[in-house]
Structure 1
């Protein structure tokens, strides 16, 4: 097999995997709790449960835009024959378009619901429809020898679909993971890693070159996550932060306390910041809203040395993650993109912090 055959083989085996991921995503959007081990447990690709209802789902892929009776005559009876210990509605999801008479035939003869392209698109929420349509476009182009895309184009489109699948409501998933990490020393590393993922998801268009657990200029103090502000981002909020506070470096400190953070942790973190090193801005991430004295300590650091320490807790992060999910559905630079910028949340927090600061 030459290199082209190898490349095509890898390409074609990737498309079925993407389709299966899309089917799982659709079931989740329809409100079903999807089993991750359905094939091993019951023989079906997916098992979805919702409010006492149970779906047993088989997923079948073909490189052709249309699924003809020849394939359905094999796939539908196979779906019917798979053993189920509990009662469930059997569903066959296929990657091509199916005829209405074939949908009726599958139900009447095998009690199997057949979902082709049209059915999948009808059931998909509006923000998932573009991902499905892009995927079907890729499959159609690949099946038509007169419209073959270049290898570079195929890879680019596939990566686009993969990214859209991975990041579909990814902020919501990260917010859910926050609830699973316990406060305290035992989960401190897990919390730091999650915070790195969260901050990168929120601000990767603006904050770049993340350094995890880097040492400060004294060679001793450890800063959890450090970014630099990209000069090419064009984000006015971060331009203002860099200008007003004379900072080239943005620090995120992760404090996985089971209780509310007090002023001592603010004093300790404030020592790591340095106006001379253009490192004057730190967002302190913690699990619960801080004690009032912690806010006063941060305001004192701002008043006396020009160091900005803003405390963000879990609910703050979840709000920004939800906003980021909405932003990524829009075109970059559009009003919807700008209006759903999680940086706006930080700007409001900084404003509230400065507006309430005592003399």
Structure 2
């Protein structure tokens, strides 16, 4: 897991740089620092739930929630979940002003100006550059934001903005219920765990797939059974990259609720489901307790020898993704880190 940790640390450094430049910009506009997230303090007792708190020129306290997305095509649900999240933080802190700061363009969204008595602003890339003022701050800000999104999109996707703010219901998806089901499912209970994982993945990524198989989908006249498979229909760079780079219109999902880390045996079994002629060359496995060294070696071999990508998430990592969705954060950062890890360890 070393390479994933390294990449996640790199992401954290980038996020810290973004928070720092945001503080500089608002301090240059007359705001005063009051507190915020401290990277160096891991003690939960002293952990601030918000990213930044400042006092405006008018003497009003303002909470800032920083949202970094590694795609230009941000789904509206994440923005609205972020609004709900920062509103709850503001109410809990007895603060009546809150801002979401993000690195992407948000002009396409119809956003509320107030919610639960909290005045809200969502500040996107273009607004930030305008606020930056000096050429030096603009250059520094632009360089930081450019680090978040590696590949330029060939065309900008414009989501249809809602006419009014409302939390978007996605097939009655409840993130809290999804987390509870993943946490409470007994070890070694196969079917309940498959159901819990399917519920979480379908809920979080419903806009990235337009068709799902039923659970325990049969292929080759019941010779193989897939836990879940989805047809990719996404504007997000992560899923589009999998679709085009690996010629995989379908993503296979497999769920393993074992007491011990999975072994190469489970990888070889999953590899049989992947077939270029059927345009399914990518699988994402969720293993409650991760994998052993033999499993990683088998996944690397499948990619190097046959071009079959098998990514792995632990149960806790899937819960992190659901929590990110609930808070309106980027749901693909952890998946991207896993993909980078796989690509980076491949030898000839």
Q: What TM-score does the superposition give when structure 1 sets the normalisation length?
A: 0.50
Structure 1, residues 13-70: CA drift from partner, whole Å, max 9, x if none?
xxxxxxxxxxxxxxxxxxxxxxxxxxxxxxxxxxxxxxxxxxxxxxxxxxxxxxxxxx
Residue of structure 2 in register with 1:355 after alignment: 344
Q: Is 2:292 the partner of 1:288? A: no
The answer for unaligned runs of 5 or more in structure 1 is 1-120, 135-155, 328-339
Match of 1:358, SS state, is coil
Residue of structure 1 in register with 2:196 after alignment: 194
For 1:144-293, what aligned pairs fall within 5 Å after superposition? 160=166, 163=169, 170-184=174-188, 187-211=189-213, 212-217=215-220, 219-230=222-233, 233-293=234-294
**Higher normalized contact order (CA 8 Å, seq sep 6+, divided by chain length):** 2
Offset at 1:194?
A: 0.5
Match of 2:187, SS state, is coil
Higher helix share: 1
Which has the higher Rg, Structure 1 or Structure 2? Answer: 1
Offset at 1:173?
A: 4.1
Match of 1:253, SS state, is strand
Distance 1:162 1:219, change over 3 A: closer
C-alpha separation in 1, matches of 2:265 and 2:91: 55
Residue of structure 1 in register with 2:332 after alignment: 343
C-alpha separation in 2, matches of 1:162 and 1:203: 13
Distance 1:358 1:204, change over 3 A: same
Distance 1:180 1:277, change over 3 A: same
For 1:1-359, what aligned pairs fall within 5 Å after superposition? 132=116, 160=166, 163=169, 170-184=174-188, 187-211=189-213, 212-217=215-220, 219-230=222-233, 233-327=234-328, 340-359=329-348
The alignment yields a C-alpha RMSD, in angstroms, of: 3.0
C-alpha separation in 1, matches of 2:197 and 2:91: 37
* Count of residues paired in the alignment: 198
The answer for unaligned runs of 5 or more in structure 2 is 1-89, 99-112, 119-161
C-alpha separation in 1, matches of 2:92 and 2:298: 52
Structure 1, residues 235-267: CA drift from partner, whole Å, max 9, x if none?
111111101110011110111111110110101
